[in-house]
């Protein structure tokens, strides 16, 4: 049987897009935590408190931000350029 046209409801959620952004957020946070722990470890080993921790926090933030930027801005731009050439 044919379906009766009904009122248009909200579009279904984009689950793959949501998972991609959730993964980016987790990776961003994990990068900061990893570099913070690495900086703390360096501080304990070399006795340079708080410089290793600060370098770890800011370095992790900068590298994580760069990685997210590349995934959200640069990679789609490169894919579009590649698609235009083909």
pLDDT in tens, the chain (86 residues): 556 665 677 777 778 888 888 999 999 999 999 999 999 999 999 999 999 999 999 999 999 999 999 999 998 899 888 888 87
70 secondary structure, DSSP code:
I
Q: Are 60 and 34 in contact (CB under 8 A)?
A: yes
Domain boundaries, the chain: 17-81
pLDDT value of residue 21: 87
What does pTM read for this prediction? 0.75
C-alpha span between 52 and 54 (Å, rounded): 5
Structure token pair of residue 15: 């689950």
How confident is the model at residue 79, as a pLDDT?
A: 87
Cα–Cα distance for residue pair 56/62, rounded to 1 Å: 10
Whole-number pLDDT of residue 83: 84
């Amino acid at each position: 049987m044919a379906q009766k046209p009904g009122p248009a409801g909200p579009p279904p959620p984009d689950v793959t897009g949501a998972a991609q952004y959730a993964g980016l957020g987790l990776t961003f946070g994990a990068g900061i935590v990893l570099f913070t722990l690495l900086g703390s470890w360096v501080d304990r080993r070399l006795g340079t408190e708080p410089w290793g921790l600060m370098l770890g926090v800011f370095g992790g933030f900068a590298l994580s931000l760069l990685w997210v930027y590349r995934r959200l801005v640069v990679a789609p731009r490169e894919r579009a350029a590649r698609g235009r050439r083909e």
